[in-house]
A = this chain, B = another copy of it.
Amino acid sequence: MEIISVKNCPITKALEVLGGKWKLRIIYHIVEDKPVRYGELRRYIPEISEKMLLQELRSLVENKILEKRSYLENTLRVEYTLTEKGKEVLPLIKMLAQIGMNFLGE
């Protein structure tokens, strides 16, 4: 196997976009094809701080994994959906979840 520099390593690139403690968990909660509200995400992942959730969502939107829509009703409603690029990640999420279930089952 040849030496691949960090810049060209596909695993490193994928982890740049999807890595860290929270991003895959966030996508995991938007897995069904319907918009998820910011407030719902905070309830699904109670351990994440508001600041971190906003930061990870901003990164996922910048990397075009998620799309953000804001609606000004009596209060500002913000929703997130998977982009087409984001949907390409779903098989990975499902496989990772299966592996995690295997580990949990040990």
Q: Give A contacts to B, CB under 8 Å.
A: 1, 3-6, 8-19, 21, 24-25, 28-29, 31-32, 43-44, 46-47, 63, 88-89, 91-93, 95-104
Contacts and interface: CB of A to CB of B under 8 A. Distances in A.
Given A3-B43, A89-B99, 11 more contacts: A3-B46, A6-B47, A8-B104, A10-B103, A11-B24, A11-B25, A11-B93, A14-B100, A14-B103, A16-B103, A18-B99
Contacts of A12: 21, 25, 100
Q: Which secondary structure dominates where chain A touches chain B? A: helix
Contact of A44 (B1, B32, B89, B91): B1
A101 B13 CA distance: 8
- Copies of the protein in its oligomer: 2
A44 B18 CA distance: 22
12 contacts: A1-B29, A1-B44, A4-B44, A5-B46, A9-B28, A11-B28, A11-B97, A13-B103, A14-B96, A14-B97, A88-B102, A91-B95
Given A1-B44, A15-B24, A24-B15, A92 B96 contact: yes
